[in-house]
Amino acid sequence: MRNTFTIFRRELAGYFATPLAYVFIVIFLVLAGVLTFFVGDFFERSQADLQSFFTFHPWLYLILIPALSMRLWAEERRSGTIELFLTLPVRLSEAVLGKFLAAWVFAGIALALTFPFWITVNFLGDPDNGVIFASYLGSWLMAGAILAIGAAVSAATKSQVIAFVVSAALVFILIAAGTPAVLGLLQDWAPERLIAAVAGASIFGHFTAITRGVIDLRDLVYFLSIIAGFLAANAVLVDLKKAD
Amino acid sequence: MLEIRNLVKHFGPLVAVDGVSFEVPRGEVLGFLGPNGAGKSTTMKMITGFLAPTAGTAIVCGDDILTRPLQAKRHIGYLPEGAPAYPDMTVAEFLDFIAHIRGYRGYDAKARVARIVETIHLDEVFNQPIETLSKGFRRRVGVAQALIHDPPVLVLDEPTDGLDPNQKYEMRRIIAAMRAEKAIIISTHLLEEVEAVCSRAIIIARGRVLADASPEELAARSRFHNAVRIGLGDRRTDPAIRSALAPLPAIAAVEPVDDEAGHALIAFPRDGRPIIGDIADLTRMHGWPVSELRVERGRLDDVFRSITAPPLAIEPPRAAA
């Protein structure tokens, strides 16, 4: 546990040691703003909620989160520091968890810095802050799930570019599967149970459910099991591929 | 202190390490020698727990690297090949991170880092990012990192590779200063390094241990061991000297050489016995114009080549005499 914290601290400090953290946060905030106000018609809707803010998060994360996760292991393997890292007296689980938590907390910091949206909507109207809180939590959980996927992919390659493209593609499938467009395509011919299964496996469906303000246990279990499953895969992949 | 038991590593069909066994007691600096691709680094990666061996294991201070990896890793300080370190961290942050992972906290961690920075002379770059450091300093940071917990077993993969002569000297001085209380393995392909710091040398090629002896013993296997170099101003006296030496039973052969030290004849002994006395007597007796008479100690590179070179299909072109 102490090692996990030491690794977590090093990794998190690592984000802020390079321009990466600042570039990431600025781009995240700018894109979130543009999408909310221009594409999401925040003002035209005249609703005191952050629906038009959260609705774009899956698509925002599709691009930005793999950019965060791509270096987690690929960089260690390319530069050879993985040999140093894994010959220190740390458990593989501590290493995997420490790196993941640092990235997740960093994503949380970026998300928390969107608080002006929340202030704006509270200034303009009287929104249901419970729904907004649930949506923030859902958004953070979704970021964690995408990060876990990206971290596992990053462990399988030395190339950050490959890690980025492959994780973005995987995440795209997981998000797009639950969108009305894809489910509509299935509607005509697929059996009911397949449609339910596709919707149930999708990040999009579970995230949308939470943004309605209800934190269902099933949605929590979904995100947490994606995180746990991909972190386990991450550990296996590191062990298999570390010496290549 | 360190015991390697029959380590084997296969990469698919390739046998990288093929049954390597040896022991390193405290106070020994073991030079791990071999041509590139001989299996040196792979062996070190298995000893330090980075790679899982196909068969065999390493026991570090009583802890098996396979069954008690965390305990075994605590006894080891390891400098991986190329001295990898996190480039965007400063030396201070990096060493502090290693100290924490090694289990030191607060004042303890600070004291450990301060002590090692002083021993390895890193104070002038202490607050610089590692990516801005020269190769020599980077290598030293790697060594500092390996020493922070004062480990009983030290594994250094090519600690002087890419350093300039002063830095090499400095690194060897650091290694020599620690030798008494540690078991140290260094891998190298520099034979001078083995002579400079190692108390024992293991030569490995194609994954097998081919020789295991002290550098002096290895050098004694050279055909140059106890050979006598007879420095001459020119080659006019060559035939006379050669015909005078040829009948001596202790002398196996006499060969001419021309190198940076000028022209000379080298007399090789039979069975490595000293022949300098006989040659000195003959020189005095005949009054040969000899500029130098020197006993060769034996050349490690010669031994290294004869042990590790794969059998040649064709004769290499002979150097002009």
Q: Between A129-155 and A92-112, two packed helices, what is the crossing angle to 10 degrees?
A: 140
Paired tokens of B1? 């202190």
- The size of the A-B interface in CB pairs under 8 A is 64
Return the bridge partners of B251, or none: B269
Identify which of B193, B254, B262 has the alpha carbon closest to the alpha carbon of residue B223. Answer: B254
Q: Using one digit for the tens of pLDDT, what is the confidence trace for B45-101? A: 999 999 999 999 999 999 999 999 999 999 999 999 999 999 999 999 999 999 999
Return the bridge partners of B34, or none: none
For tokens 């607050």, the residue is B127
Rounded-to-integer distance, Cα A182 and Cα B136, Å: 58
One-letter amino acid for residue B124 of the chain? E
Place B28 in a pLDDT band, splitting at 50, 70 and 90: very high
Chain A interface disruption, residue of B14, B60, B61, B86, most A CBs within 10 A: B86
For strands B200-205 and B29-33, give the pairing: parallel
Q: What is the pTM assigned to this prediction? A: 0.87
pLDDT of residue B239: 85
Judge: B84–A89 Cβ closer than 8 Å, yes or no. no
Tally the C-alpha atoms within 13 A of residue A23's C-alpha that lie toward its C-beta. 8
Residue A141 to residues A108, A147, A203, A221: CA-CA distances in angstroms?
A: 9, 10, 10, 10
Q: Using one digit for the tens of pLDDT, what is the confidence trace for A104-116? A: 999 999 999 999 9
Whether the pLDDT of residue B312 is over 60: the answer is: no
Q: Give A121's contacts (C-beta < 8 A, 6+ positions apart).
A: A48, A49, A50, A127, A132
Closest approach of A17 to chain B, Cα-based (Å): 7
Secondary structure (3-state) at A179: coil
pLDDT of residue B316: 52
pLDDT of residue A144: 97
ipTM value of the model?
0.89
Q: What residue ranges define each of the domains in chain B, with the CATH number in brackets? A: 2-220 (3.40.50.300), 228-296 (3.30.70)
A91 reaches B (C-beta below 8 A)? yes
**In this structure, what DSSP letter does residue A38 have?**
I
Q: Using one digit for the tens of pLDDT, what is the confidence trace for A48-105? A: 778 888 989 999 999 999 999 999 999 999 999 999 999 999 999 999 999 999 999 9
One-letter amino acid for residue B61 of the chain? C
Whether the pLDDT of residue B315 is over 70: the answer is: no
Residues of A in contact with B85 (CB under 8 A): 81, 84
Judge: B89–A3 Cβ closer than 8 Å, yes or no. no
Identify which of A80, A65, A72, A92 has the alpha carbon closest to the alpha carbon of residue A3. Answer: A92
Residue A180 to residues A186, A230, B56: CA-CA distances in angstroms?
A: 10, 26, 57
One-letter amino acid for residue A112 of the chain? A
Average pLDDT score over chain B: 88
| Burial (CB count within 10 angstroms: exposed 0-12, middle 13-18, buried 19+), residue A22 | exposed
Closest approach of B72 to chain A, Cα-based (Å): 8
Rounded-to-integer distance, Cα B24 and Cα B47, Å: 12
Mean pLDDT value across residues A228-237: 96
Q: Give A4's contacts (C-beta < 8 A, 6+ positions apart).
A: A94, A97, A98, A101
